[in-house]
Chains A and B, each alone.
Chain A
Amino acid sequence: MLMESISSLFHGFGILADPVNILYMCVGITLGVLIGVLPGLGGANGVAILLPLTFSMSPTAAIIMLSSIYWGALFGGAITSILFNIPGEPWSVATTFDGHPMAQQGRADEALTAAFSSSFVGAFLAVIVLTFLAPIVAEFALEFGPAEFFAVQLLTFCSFVGMGRESPFKVLAAMMLGFSLAAVGMDGVTGTLRMTFGTVELMRGFDFLIAVIGLFGVGEILLTMEEGLAFRGKSAKINMRVVLQTWARLPTFWVTYLRSAAVGCWLGITPGGATPASFMSYGLARRFSRNRQKFGTGEIEGVVAPETAAHAAGTSALLPMLTLGIPGSPTAAVMLGGLLIWGLQPGPTLFIEQKDFVWGLIASMYLSNVVGFIIVLTTVPAWAAILRIPFSIIAPIILVMCAVGAYTVHNALLDVSIMLVFGVIGYLFKKLQYPLAPLVLALVLGDMAESSFRRAMLISQGEMSIFWSNWLVGLICLLAMIMLFWPLIGFVLDRLNTRKPAEML
């Protein structure tokens, strides 16, 4: 198994040797950093907007470009956080806590070097996990029937309730809204029209790409507007001496690296995503660090921890997408949508039928992280300059890009209006702390989850007992239920813990 992975990986590097693919990779990373740097354009909707451009490419070239955009966006988020105290991406919020104080003390180059290096290490560790774990998971999943697939999907969605920082009822409501929107249109099994209310337009249903562009793109711009955006950042030049000095210090944080990467991989594979991973990792680093008092005032470890975790999570989110067809993050969900459009069925069979595609992608992750690391390290001043362009020029351009992206999905003008409506919903939801990720994932997976549920029900003739008919499916369902009721379990445990000291007095 191990040797097989390594030889497959070398085969993947062989595919990468095509100079066109390398070119797409560099273009992707540059676009990705741009997306990550600009507020209002995030990884998920950036990839969604650019997805139609890849329809004419070969799937391998297309996924290499899209995943490079994703890596680029992960790198780019750190630049704005450190220099401008404005997180370009939600997962870089935790980076601002110590990154921006460092920049204010004139240590911007040190913070940026630490951030990029940590991102690189986090992603690298996660790709290694992915390389060796993915084939095993895929082989395991080949045995799955509809009941097992539904159980895994159930676990995915219940994890949002258990892991989310938001109110569990809001998570459920947002998720079910996603499922409802996914159900609109023609039912794939019986051909019945659902929730179309007699209109032709609703027969197509809601495309999640439109929702992503609206919720994350337009919604984010409206939110940014409200907070008022005036870039007053530190300028940045990175000189080689500081880079080397910082590198010399970084190995002392090896425990932080390993811990953060583990947190990131775990939250990326179970769909917690990069944002909670970065916060959790920052919190853990603060708890265990010897310098915990200095956290928040420009401690380099406070930059290392969230960046390592965010990149590890972003990378490992692709593992369940490739092996089970269940994306671990909204951006991975958009890429999954891409796979379906290119005619590839994500899931365990992908590893058997589309070897070139899968291993080309995994090999490209190794290379694009190295390339991305070099690109961001050498081009920071250019990105900092872009951020000096006033938002009153950037905002309308981003809105035009969103409109173009929404239109090109189906060449339908109505979609642009739907995108605007999703934008307003995104703004309201964000303000009231309804999570957007479960909504998007439910919209993407709705049809798949429904069909595996219905097929499982068909096999069992309507008996729910199929979900505990063997140890595997029973175990997954049990885990799902623990996740679903975690807020309640956590609440009870808290009560017990606080009562104990009181009794001892």
Chain B
Amino acid sequence: MSDKHDLVPEHKPGQSERTVSTRAMELAVAAALMLVAAVVMSDSWRVGAGWAVDGPQAGYFPFYIGVIMFVASAITFGVHVLTKAPDLSNFVDRSALLLVLKVLAPTVGFVVLIEFVGIYVAAAIFISVFMVWLGSYSLVKAIPVGVAVPAVLFWLFEIMFLIPLPKGPLEAALGY
């Protein structure tokens, strides 16, 4: 008994669920970690990874951290290249990936919006949009929730604990 308000990946018949293989993702992440390790090593080398008159230089410790990270990721990479039984299973189903992106996109929008209208208004818009778009709620149900949550947050942070959060033009107009 599935509910229309539930968030479950919808599998559309006739559409392939194939995205990328787990092995491809393993290789990509291991390669990315090797890249990060290379950056760590090169920057540590730049600031000096040796021994100065007064003791170890600033890059001494991080340099070896970079070395271990590089070697460990290189082994992970190598294992997945050389294995005789590569994990070719699907990394993520297309429908599931779509749902993850559908959650991620409005969240990114929310974070961008904070800069312009403050966190309270952004949260109100975000929660309402999320409920209507992904939860199939009517605006009549979504807006009260969207307004109530930031209102409680405002009371908690600005009034009870006196911790200022980012505010925008609306709060300024109300005198905060």
Contacts and interface: CB of A to CB of B under 8 A. Distances in A.
Interface residues of B, number: 77
Given A230-B3, A232-B1, A397-B127, A392 B108 contact: no
A173 interface: yes
Interface in B129-154: 130-131, 134-137, 145, 149-150, 153
A429 B73 CA distance: 13
Given A408-B165, A420-B108, A228 B99 contact: yes
B62 interface: yes
A390 B3 contact: yes
Contacts of A408: 157, 163, 165
A187 B60 CA distance: 11
A173 B1 contact: no
A203 interface: no
B25 A457 contact: no
Contact of B131 (A173, A218, A396): A396
Contacts of A403: 110-111, 114, 119, 123
A187 B49 CA distance: 13
Contact of A400 (B43, B44, B51, B127): B127
Contact of B111 (A416, A457, A458): A416
A180 B59 CA distance: 11
B43 A194 contact: yes
A432 B73 CA distance: 13
A30 B69 CA distance: 41
Contacts of A106: none
B97 to A, nearest CB: 7
A462 interface: yes
Interface residues of A, number: 62
A230 B163 contact: no
A413 B92 contact: no
A226 B72 CA distance: 29
B100 A222 contact: yes
Contacts of A393: 127, 131, 135, 137, 145
A11 B15 CA distance: 68
Given A403-B114, A428-B29, A390 B149 contact: no
Given A173-B69, A428-B29, A395 B7 contact: yes
A177 B91 CA distance: 23
Contacts of A221: 103
Contacts of B106: 396
A180 B69 contact: yes
Given A194-B43, A413-B114, A431-B91, A396 B73 contact: no
A384 B60 CA distance: 53
Nearest to B40: A180
Contacts of B65: 176, 179-180, 183
Interface stretch (A13-21, A79-87, A164-172): A164-172
Contacts of A222: 100, 103-104
Nearest to A168: B72
Contacts of B107: 218, 399, 420
A392 B134 CA distance: 7
Contact of A462 (B56, B96, B110): B56
A3 to B, nearest CB: 42
B149 A400 contact: yes
Interface in A182-221: 183, 187, 189-190, 192-195, 197, 218, 221
Main DSSP-derived SS at the B contact region:
helix
Interface string A232-269: 10000000000000000000000000000000000000
A390 B157 contact: no
A454 B60 contact: yes
B86 interface: no
Contact of A396 (B8, B29, B127): B127
A193 B161 CA distance: 35
B72 A176 contact: yes
Contacts of B18: none
A454 B8 contact: no
Contact of A390 (B6, B36, B59, B60): B6
A187 B33 CA distance: 23
A417 to B, nearest CB: 6
Given A167-B76, A180-B62, A404-B165, A190 B57 contact: yes
A170 B74 CA distance: 10
A177 B51 CA distance: 24
B127 A194 contact: no
Interface string A455-475: 001100010000000000000
Interface of A: 52-53, 56, 167, 169-170, 172-173, 176-177, 179-180, 183, 187, 189-190, 192-195, 197, 218, 221-222, 225-230, 232, 390-393, 395-397, 399-400, 403-404, 407-408, 411, 413, 416-417, 420, 424, 427-429, 431-432, 434, 450, 453-454, 457-458, 462
Given A176-B66, A396-B127, A403-B123, 7 more contacts: A56-B161, A176-B68, A183-B62, A403-B110, A420-B107, A450-B62, A457-B56
Interface of B: 1-3, 5-9, 22, 25-26, 29-30, 33, 36-37, 39-40, 43-44, 47-48, 51, 55-62, 65-66, 68-69, 72-73, 75-76, 79, 91-93, 96-97, 99-100, 103-104, 106-108, 110-111, 114-115, 119, 123, 126-127, 130-131, 134-137, 145, 149-150, 153, 157, 161-166
25 contacts: A56-B161, A169-B73, A169-B76, A173-B72, A179-B62, A179-B65, A180-B62, A189-B58, A190-B58, A192-B47, A192-B48, A194-B59, A218-B107, A226-B96, A228-B96, A229-B7, A229-B8, A396-B130, A407-B119, A407-B166, A431-B25, A432-B25, A454-B60, A457-B56, A462-B56
